[in-house]
């Protein structure tokens, strides 16, 4: 089938085969412009010209895991570790709320210092601040923890599938396994969370068919959000010599996801911005409708080193928010003012 017909059919709700998706992901620069244009049209129909800005507090870089790609992995003993106290996290959220954030993502390594009770305390106190959606991103935990936090008022949970290739997943995560990851995602969905997933582009052995399967998996687990970002090597990890993920492939994966999942929230991932500001700008025009902004104190941002990145000059949460809004407006985009719930 002609690639334009295939793209049109997917935009009209045809479910493509893995091979057809792989063929789209292999389109060259010139042909992919058609994919990008249709993805942008779909985005505008379902999301208008609006971008949701989420605030993210990276509140601890302690981690019990051994993910082979991540700078926070437990074996990285050169990293200076930090934890924010529950009250610091609540206060940080208050500042973000006052600066205009309607969603706060609370992210950390898998740090069991934050017991079920401590996270409950954080959620309940944030909910007293105002109408702010809470996304938890604290990794794999006991299902009773997930249930309690939902009852406390947490709205969403971000835990990425990372890769749909079970063997690859298991080799990259010696401390856990793919089945458990998917079980977490399904349980979170069953508990009523809006679930965020996502995957990396450029993992070892990944093919366009793997990426196609990744995109299909997002639908199977009913993800309300999916962060698709390039892998970026970190020198204190086993994948330090592995090449950086491809920005162009990332854009095609975002665009194809937009064709399939019209209402899904698709962020421009931080890793794509770290890879190249040009790719970041383009992502907003090929289907993405969300961006996350760090809001924790700078002394912690420097230490939340999943992969190497520049931190920029220190400014207040409000100043940064205004700068981000001005940047988005300069791209011809508008800022969403609602909470941006999924579906
Ligand atoms: N611990 C939580 C979890 O496992 O869901 C959340 C924190 S984890 C550090 C956040 C995300 O960072 C992961 O889901 C992974 O996709 C991404 N990440 C980690 N290392 C990366 C790398 N080297 N390049 C790109 N993304 C990376």
- What pLDDT does 1 receive? 72
Instruction: Tell whether the model's pLDDT for residue 153 goes beyond 80.
Output: yes
**Using one digit for the tens of pLDDT, what is the confidence trace for 98-123?**
999 999 999 999 999 999 999 999 99
Instruction: Name which residue sits closest to atom 20 of ligand 1, judged by CA.
Output: 70
**Using one digit for the tens of pLDDT, what is the confidence trace for 19-77?**
999 999 999 999 999 999 999 999 999 999 999 999 999 999 999 999 999 999 999 99
Ligand 1 atom closest to the Cα of residue 69 is 23
Q: 169 falls in which pLDDT band (50, 70, 90)?
A: very high
Among 337, 332, 336, 325, residue whose Cα is nearest residue 40:
332
- What pLDDT does 222 receive? 94
Q: How far is the CA of 203 from the centre of ligand 1 (A)?
A: 13
CB distance 178 to ligand 1 below 6 Å? no
Task: Please give the angle made by the CA atoms of 127, 270 and 27, to the nearest 5 degrees.
Answer: 130
Identify whether the C-beta of residue 155 lies closer than 8 Å to the C-beta of residue 146: no
Q: How far is the CA of 291 from the centre of ligand 1 (A)?
A: 16
Q: Is 190 annotated as a binding residue?
A: no
Q: How far is the CA of 141 from the centre of ligand 1 (A)?
A: 16
User: For 73-84, what is the mean pLDDT?
Assistant: 97
- What pLDDT does 133 receive? 97
User: For 301-316, what is the mean pLDDT?
Assistant: 92
Instruction: Tell whether the model's pLDDT for residue 310 goes beyond 90.
Output: no
Instruction: Name which residue sits closest to atom 26 of ligand 1, judged by CA.
Output: 231
Query: Cα-flanking dihedrals φ and ψ of residue 26, to 5°?
Result: -95, 0
- Give the CATH class of 28-335: alpha beta
Q: How far is CA 185 from the centre of its chain?
A: 14
User: For 245-255, what is the mean pLDDT?
Assistant: 98
CB distance 271 to ligand 1 below 6 Å? yes
- Which of 160, 175, 221 to mutate for ligand 1's pocket (most ligand atoms within 8 Å of CB)? 160
CB distance 245 to ligand 1 below 6 Å? no
Residue with tokens 């309300």: 224
Instruction: Tell whether the model's pLDDT for residue 343 goes beyond 80.
Output: no
Instruction: Give DSSP secondary structure letters for 92-106.
Output: HHHHHHHTT-SEEEE
- What pLDDT does 312 receive? 83
CB distance 231 to ligand 1 below 6 Å? yes
Among 53, 69, 70, 52, residue whose Cα is nearest residue 61:
70
Residue ranges per structural domain of the chain: 28-335
Ligand 1 atom closest to the Cα of residue 138 is 2
- What pLDDT does 311 receive? 87
Beta strands in the chain, from DSSP E residues, in sequence order? 50-60, 103-108, 133-137, 156-158, 194-201, 225-230, 267-268, 290-294, 334-335
Q: How far is the CA of 305 from the centre of ligand 1 (A)?
A: 10
CB distance 134 to ligand 1 below 6 Å? no
CB distance 232 to ligand 1 below 6 Å? yes
> How far apart (Å, rounded) are the C-alpha atoms in residues 102 and 132?
5
Which residue blocks in 108-235 are alpha helix, DSSP H?
116-127, 143-152, 166-172, 178-190, 208-220
Q: 343 to each of 40, 103, 231, 268, how far by Cα in Å? A: 18, 16, 28, 18
Instruction: Name which residue sits closest to atom 2 of ligand 1, judged by CA.
Output: 139
CB distance 72 to ligand 1 below 6 Å? yes
Q: How far is the CA of 272 from the centre of ligand 1 (A)?
A: 13
Q: How far is the CA of 70 from the centre of ligand 1 (A)?
A: 6
């Amino acid at each position: 089938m002609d690639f334009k017909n295939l793209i049109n059919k997917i935009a009209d709700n045809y479910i493509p085969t893995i091979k057809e998706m792989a063929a789209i992901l292999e389109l060259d620069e010139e042909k992919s412009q058609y994919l990008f244009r249709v993805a942008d049209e779909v985005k505008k129909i379902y999301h208008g010209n609006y971008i949701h800005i989420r605030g993210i507090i990276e509140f601890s870089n302690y981690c019990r895991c051994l993910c082979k790609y991540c700078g926070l992995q437990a074996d990285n003993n050169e990293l200076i570790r930090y934890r924010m106290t529950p009250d610091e996290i609540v206060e940080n959220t208050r500042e973000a709320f006052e600066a205009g954030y309607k969603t706060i993502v609370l992210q950390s390594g898998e740090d069991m210092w934050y017991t079920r009770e401590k996270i409950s305390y954080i959620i309940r106190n944030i909910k007293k601040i105002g109408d702010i959606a809470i996304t938890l991103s604290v990794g794999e935990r006991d299902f009773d923890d997930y249930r309690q936090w939902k009852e406390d008022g947490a709205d969403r949970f971000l835990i990425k599938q990372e890769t749909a290739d079970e063997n690859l997943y298991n080799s990259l995560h010696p401390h856990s396994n793919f089945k458990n990851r998917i079980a977490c995602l399904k349980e979170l969905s069953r508990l009523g969370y809006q679930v965020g997933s996502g995957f990396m582009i450029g993992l070892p052995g990944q093919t366009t068919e793997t990426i196609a399967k990744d995109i299909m998996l997002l639908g199977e687990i009913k993800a309300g959000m999916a962060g698709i970002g390039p892998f970026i090597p970190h020198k204190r990890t086993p994948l330090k010599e592995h090449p950086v993920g491809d920005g162009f492939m990332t854009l095609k994966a975002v665009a194809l996801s937009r064709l399939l999942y019209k209402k899904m929230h698709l962020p421009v991932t931080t890793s794509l911005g770290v890879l190249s500001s040009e790719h970041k700008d383009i992502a907003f025009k090929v289907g993405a409708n969300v961006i996350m902004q760090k809001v924790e104190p700078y002394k912690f941002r420097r230490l939340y080193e999943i992969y190497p990145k520049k931190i920029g000059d220190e400014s207040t949460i409000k100043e940064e928010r205004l700068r981000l809004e001005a940047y988005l407006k300069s791209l011809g985009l508008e800022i969403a003012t609602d909470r941006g719930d999924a579906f």
